[in-house]
Copies of this chain bind each other. A is one copy, B any other.
Amino acid sequence: LNIAVLPGDGIGPEVVEQALNATIAVCEKYNHELTYKHALVGACAIDETGNPYPDATHELCMQSDAVLFGAIGSPKYDNDPSAKVRPEQGLLAMRKNLGLFANIRPVTTFPSLIHKSPLRSDLIEGADFMCIRELTGGLYFGRPQGRSEDGNTAYDTCVYSRYEIERIVRLAFEYAMKRRKKLTVVDKANILATSRMWREVAQEIAKDFPEVETEFLYVDNAAMRMIQWPKSFDVMVTENMFGDILTDEGSVITGSMGMLPSASVGTYTSVFEPIHGSYPQAAGKNIANPLATILSAAMMFEYAFNLKEEAELIRKAVAASMDANVVTEDIAGEGVKASSTKEVGQWI
Contacts and interface: CB of A to CB of B under 8 A. Distances in A.
Nearest to A122: B118
Contacts of A223: 223, 245-246, 248-249
B158 A155 contact: yes
A156 B158 CA distance: 5
Contacts of A86: 190
A157 interface: yes
Contacts of A249: 223-224, 227, 249
A120 B224 CA distance: 16
Interface stretch (A100-108, A159-167, A285-293): A159-167
A20 interface: no
A197 B146 CA distance: 10
Interface residues of A, number: 54
Contacts of A155: 142, 157-160, 193-194
A75 B223 CA distance: 21
Contact of A156 (B163, B193, B221): B193
Contacts of A244: 188, 219-220
A327 interface: no
A249 to B, nearest CB: 4
Interface in A205-238: 219-221, 223-224, 227-228
A247 to B, nearest CB: 8
Interface in A79-126: 81, 86, 88, 117-120, 123
Contacts of A147: 193, 197
A25 interface: no
A159 B157 CA distance: 9
A248 B224 CA distance: 6
**Listed residue (A188, A199, A241, A251) with the most chain B CB atoms within 10 angstroms of its CB:** A241
Given A157-B157, A158-B156, A220 B192 contact: no
Contact of A228 (B118, B162, B197, B245): B118
Contacts of A246: 223
Interface string A175-195: 000000000000011111110
Nearest to A255: B228
Contacts of A224: 248-249, 251-252
Contacts of A346: none
A147 B147 CA distance: 23
A154 B248 contact: no
B154 A227 contact: no
Given A86-B190, A119-B118, A191-B139, A153 B158 contact: no
Given A155-B158, A249-B249, 9 more contacts: A118-B123, A152-B161, A152-B163, A154-B194, A156-B193, A158-B158, A188-B244, A223-B248, A245-B245
8 contacts: A88-B190, A119-B227, A140-B191, A152-B161, A219-B244, A220-B248, A224-B251, A245-B245
